């Protein structure tokens, strides 16, 4: 829900940064770029997952707070904001719904 709103609002920013990241990996690793990029993205996802486990419910509170701050920015300002703030972008994954579902068990 909130994550979807984030993706819709900053779709252009995310696409631009994705192209730049793919370009970097292509220039740096050539034929190995896709495999290396996939490995890097998997690393980020795994690191975010480990952080979510170690922080428990605090993870969702932190992610919700960060999402509210970011959503106050205008579309097109995401890269500038993340360049000036210490932001754990990987933590913006939609994990909180799964945590909430586990609380009900």
The residues, ordered by sequence, that sit 6+ positions from 64 with a Cβ below 8 Å of its Cβ are 2, 96
The predicted pLDDT at position 62 comes to: 84
Residue 58 phi, psi (nearest 5): -60, -30
**Contact indicator for 62, 55 with CB cutoff of 8 Å:** yes
Which pLDDT score is estimated for 105? Answer: 40
CA trace torsion 32, 33, 35, 40 (10° rounding):
130
CA distance 11 to 55: 28
User: Are 13 and 89 contacting, i.e. CB atoms less than 8 angstroms apart?
Assistant: no
Q: What is the pLDDT of the chain when averaged over all its residues? A: 81
Predicted local distance difference test score (pLDDT) of residue 30: 93
Predicted pLDDT at 103: 46
Whether the pLDDT of residue 85 is over 80: the answer is no
pLDDT of amino acid 95: 46
């Amino acid at each position: 829900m909130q994550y979807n709103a984030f993706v819709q609002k900053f779709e252009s920013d995310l696409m631009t940064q994705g192209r730049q990241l793919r370009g970097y990996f292509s220039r740096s690793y050539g034929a190995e770029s896709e495999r290396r990029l996939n490995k890097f993205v998997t690393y980020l996802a795994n690191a975010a997952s480990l952080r979510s486990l170690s922080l428990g419910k605090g993870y969702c509170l932190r992610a919700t707070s960060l999402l509210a701050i970011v959503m106050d920015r205008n579309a097109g300002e995401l890269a500038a904001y993340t360049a000036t703030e210490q932001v754990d972008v990987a933590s913006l994954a939609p994990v909180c719904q799964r945590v909430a579902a586990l609380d009900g068990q």
